[in-house]
A and B are shown apart, each in its own frame.
Chain A
Amino acid sequence: MLDALEALAEHRAAVVVIGAQAVYLRTGRAQVALAEATKDSDLAIDPRTLGEDPRVEAAMRAAGFVPDPRHGQPGAWVNVDGIPVDLMVPESFAGAGGPNARGARVPPHDRRAMRRARGLEATLVDSTVEKVNALDPADPRSFEARVAGPAALLVAKTYKIAERIDTPRRLVDKDAHDMYRILVALETEPLAESFRRLLADPISASTTAHALEEIAELAAPGPQALVPMMAGRAEEGIGDPVTVALSTSLLARDLLTALA
């Protein structure tokens, strides 16, 4: 991940750390059974502040990244150590494209350098600059980088799960567990306040409103709902799946109640 931040150092202002690493940064203190093991790095790119030079694809290649041959989809990069990095542009900023377009059209950058993704608009609104360290304690590097806030991460995770409902094999329990972590780590009121800001900002309003509808359907109904069930399952054998599932649904409901 630090390699990717280093690669895109010139575009630092346009890069937002999202995904598991951001969740970890936002919730590190939350006491949960599941260990951090992810090497994946997801980065959201804000085309509004993305400069023309260097070109994203050139910067990535110069830092040793190549398009990930396993996926063949735009925005998926991997370096020689096998560390994957995903560069994603929120759909409403990803330019024109048919319903099947996958690459983000952000000229003059290559249309395969970044992938368009739904539900990331909030990460452009809700982020703060944080010090990002390497997960490997032996790696002394650290960077100042924009990191998505908890509310934006919750929106992004909700989209990710909701999009994959119809292809259950692509559902990853860890994503639901990340939602649980966020809900546990933040008191309801500050989290609700962040959501209010996202709802008030034209960039993120509709994305956020839709995410809340999905949360109402997929997380809040009870411990048997999809998200709580997946979050609990992620702790099977190491934690307390039933407690995690119940907590997830209760805290999701608390959030919706605070926003009602």
Chain B
Amino acid sequence: MTIELNPPTSSVELVRRASEALAARLPAGWSLRPATIDAAVDRGVDAAFDLAAPDGRSAVLIIEAKNVAEVRDVPGVVRQIAAYVGQVDNGYGVLVARYLSPQVRSALTESGVSFVDATGNIRVELSAPGLYLGDRGADADPWRGRGRPRGTLKGAPAARIVRAIADIPGEWTIRELVRGAGVSTGTGYRVIDFLEREDLATREERGRIAVPSWEKVLRRWSEDYSFVGDSRVTRWIAPRGLEALLKRIAQTGPVDYAITGTVAAAEWAEYAPARAAAIYTADAESAAADWGLRAADAGANVLLAEPEIDVPFVRTVTNTAGLRLAAPSQVVVDLMTGPGRNPQEAEELMEWMKNNEDSWRAG
């Protein structure tokens, strides 16, 4: 089965494509045609087909159509299909979707629910009349990213929401979260949906969103965000060393900056002396001029990062030396994705964050 260039855009088209794919694979003498079923059942399902064997025996395929189904959706789908299957004579449930991942397919197989996806992944099994149809389509969603839902925590809205969730304890309503993170409602929903699908957030009563583990959210964010990947990073040298540089930064005027990396982590969980400073700034060239930095390649001891997303400047911490540090939730993710010993430093900081939640999460 060739994969069509465009994804099915509606459940009607999804069902049409799925029924065509099934019909094309049926053995000679078998037939597939729309079924006439009880109106109440008809209203609850996306489609129903009569599948007839050459000997005249037949079964009813109850079709549930979904754009995308995740593993966590499987139990619900199975329950829903079972409810309708029980109301028709010799019914079998089939989940039809735009794309089903290998994990979802195996979960459906275990639950005894047949499936057809629009990339050509097919498994339909009937006991009477006896039939097994199987085919292999794509193992990755060819249409991902072109429509909703987004499958990552990339981008500014996700960054803002992740940081808000990490920095501020308690449950949220979507409204509060959208307002608190400063993102549009639509993108806010999309990010929350994603967190839900990843089991990182749950919807509670009255629309409240609970995030059981800020740590897991930050770790998941680190798969999609990095200090180097989401910023324009330039390399510099502070010729009098980092201590002198930090002193100078503390005395310099209102440059927009936030120190991250080893230097910032040392504020909470000192690991090893810093050999290089990593600093977010809105304008690297003017910060470098203010701080007496020179462009350097080999020998650089300062990395300046102009972030594509302004989230590193959100909820910064000013230490007793007068230095502005990125929030621990930002620093820990920057370290997770940093070079050298940074990942170990991230674990040290994460430990500190777990043990000192009260001191860094704004109540």
Instruction: List chain A positions with a Cβ less than 8 A from chain B.
Output: 30-32, 183-184, 223, 240, 242-247, 250-251, 254
Contacts and interface: CB of A to CB of B under 8 A. Distances in A.
A31 B296 CA distance: 20
Interface of B: 237, 239-244, 275, 294, 296, 298-301
A254 B239 CA distance: 10
A31 B237 contact: no
Given A240-B275, A250-B237, A31 B242 contact: yes
A48 to B, nearest CB: 36
Nearest to B241: A31
A246 B237 contact: yes
A247 B240 contact: yes
A246 B299 contact: yes
Contacts of B294: 250
Given A244-B299, A250-B239, 19 more contacts: A30-B240, A31-B243, A31-B244, A32-B241, A183-B239, A184-B240, A184-B241, A184-B244, A240-B275, A242-B298, A245-B299, A246-B237, A246-B296, A246-B298, A247-B241, A247-B299, A251-B239, A251-B240, A254-B239
Contact of B239 (A32, A242, A247): A247
A62 to B, nearest CB: 44
Nearest to B240: A184
B242 A246 contact: no
10 contacts: A32-B241, A184-B240, A243-B299, A243-B300, A243-B301, A245-B299, A246-B239, A247-B239, A250-B237, A254-B239
A223 B299 contact: yes
Contacts of B241: 30-32, 184, 247
A184 B239 contact: yes
A184 to B, nearest CB: 5
A223 B294 CA distance: 13
Contacts of B244: 31, 184
A127 B104 CA distance: 80
Contacts of B242: 31
Contacts of B300: 243
